[in-house]
């Protein structure tokens, strides 16, 4: 198989080249993102491999189908950027990587939280200038604090276990509660009202878009810390900014951002950032932003490449893949 690999970064290539060679798949790596204008690069390829910020709307998918592409291999868990109905109509077979390393994302969420509450980022900058003053560096204990976890899939459950290790009280909300949970589920309203820290680990759907908005922020404890390592559009960024300015939100730890497509994964140093909301968030002393790097560990990169390659092999050779996403009767179902 020949697969056009879009939005390629240096850290992607080694694992995909290794696993691809083992299974007879040749990846053509392109640094550009997949859009309607760049879809032509997939000509003479059996499919494409894409990431979270590639454009996969009906126009792009129809163009891929016209180029005789058969496979759309997402090297990520989320598929909110895919027009699944259009993919089905075009005959494109879509697969994703549902779990590559829940530990990577959950550990990054805790790293952001610890960095924020213990002022690690400020201490690093200060001591680099040989400033060893502790003024303004007072943090808080996590022990005994209540953390509200929204979404208790693989990543959410790992994050919960980490929080328990710190002696934190855990409450959770999920539309589909786990039957074997060893933590209490509460309503979303209760979670907002009771949590000292709120961490988002749910997928982006029409129902969860702007889950954190101007109204839900009003329901939160004053001074709450908000963590998002899932999808940017779970939070209305403008409302988040207003919540921080009003001191309702005490701190924000963000690995994702609602309008990140043109910014994250790119080196824009020396450029003027056109997104005023993102620029203002980054400028605030109680906001930490990382560039969608929660997934970025050696283990996760290897797992992503291996799973993506096996997905393609199963679709091509066996005509069946458990990680296939199928549009059927107006909803998405998983393959076998």
Same domain, 284 and 309: no
Q: Has residue 157 got a pLDDT over 80?
A: yes
Structure confidence by residue, pLDDT tens digits, 63-121: 999 999 999 999 998 898 999 999 999 999 999 999 888 999 999 999 999 999 999 99
Q: What is the CATH number of the domain that holds 83?
A: 3.40.50.720
Same domain, 89 and 134: no
The answer to pTM > 0.85 is: yes
Q: What is the mean pLDDT of residues 310-316?
A: 96
Residues 212/240, Cβ–Cβ less than 8 Å? yes
Structure confidence by residue, pLDDT tens digits, 186-219: 999 999 999 999 999 999 999 999 999 999 999 9
What spatial distance separates the first Cα and last Cα of the chain, rounded to whole Å?
22
Same domain, 224 and 120: yes
- According to the model, what pLDDT value does residue 243 have? 98
Same domain, 74 and 186: no
Question: Does residue 238 have an active-site annotation?
Answer: no
Question: Does residue 93 have an active-site annotation?
Answer: no
Structure confidence by residue, pLDDT tens digits, 259-291: 998 899 889 998 999 999 999 999 999 999 999
> What is the span of the domain harbouring residue 52?
2-100+297-334
Given the residues 258, 260, 306, 324, the one annotated as active site: 260
Q: What is the mean pLDDT of residues 141-148?
A: 98
Same domain, 142 and 17: no
Mean pLDDT of the chain: 96
Question: Does residue 22 have an active-site annotation?
Answer: no
Given the residues 231, 258, 316, 324, the one annotated as active site: 231
Q: Could you tell me where the DSSP H helices lie in the chain?
A: 13-22, 58-66, 84-90, 102-117, 120-128, 154-165, 188-194, 214-218, 237-245, 276-283, 298-313
Same domain, 121 and 260: yes
- According to the model, what pLDDT value does residue 328 have? 87
Structure confidence by residue, pLDDT tens digits, 77-91: 889 899 999 999 999
Given the residues 292, 306, 316, 324, the one annotated as active site: 292
């Amino acid at each position: 198989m020949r697969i056009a690999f879009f939005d390629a970064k240096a850290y992607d290539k080694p694992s995909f080249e290794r696993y691809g060679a083992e299974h007879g798949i040749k990846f053509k790596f392109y640094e550009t993102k997949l859009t309607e204008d760049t879809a032509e690069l997939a000509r003479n390829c059996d499919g494409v491999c894409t990431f979270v910020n590639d454009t996969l709307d009906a126009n792009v998918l129809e163009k891929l189908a016209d180029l005789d592409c058969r496979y759309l291999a997402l090297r990520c868990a989320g598929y909110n950027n895919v027009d699944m109905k259009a993919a089905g109509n075009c005959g494109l077979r879509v697969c994703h990587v549902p779990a590559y390393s829940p530990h990577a994302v959950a550990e990054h969420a805790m790293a952001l939280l610890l960095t924020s509450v213990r002022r690690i980022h400020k201490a690093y900058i200060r001591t680099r200038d040989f400033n060893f003053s502790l003024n303004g560096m007072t943090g808080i204990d996590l022990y005994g604090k209540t953390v509200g976890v929204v979404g208790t899939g693989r990543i959410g459950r790992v994050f919960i276990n980490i929080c328990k290790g710190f002696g934190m009280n855990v409450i959770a909300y999920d539309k589909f509660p786990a039957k074997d949970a060893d933590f209490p589920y509460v309503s979303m309203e209760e979670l907002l009202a009771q949590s000292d820290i709120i961490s988002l680990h749910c997928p982006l759907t029409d129902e969860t878009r702007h889950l954190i908005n101007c109204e839900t922020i009003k329901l939160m404890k004053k001074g709450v810390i908000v963590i998002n390592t899932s999808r940017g559009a779970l939070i209305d960024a403008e409302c988040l900014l207003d919540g921080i300015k009003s001191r309702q939100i005490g701190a924000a730890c963000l690995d994702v951002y609602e309008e990140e497509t043109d910014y994250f994964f790119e080196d824009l140093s020396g450029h003027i950032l056109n997104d005023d909301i993102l620029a203002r968030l980054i400028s605030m002393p109680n906001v930490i932003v990382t560039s969608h790097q929660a997934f970025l560990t050696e283990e996760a990169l290897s797992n992503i490449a291996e799973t993506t390659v096996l997905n393609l092999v199963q679709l091509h050779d066996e005509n069946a893949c458990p990680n296939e996403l199928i549009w059927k009767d107006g909803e998405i179902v998983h393959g076998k």
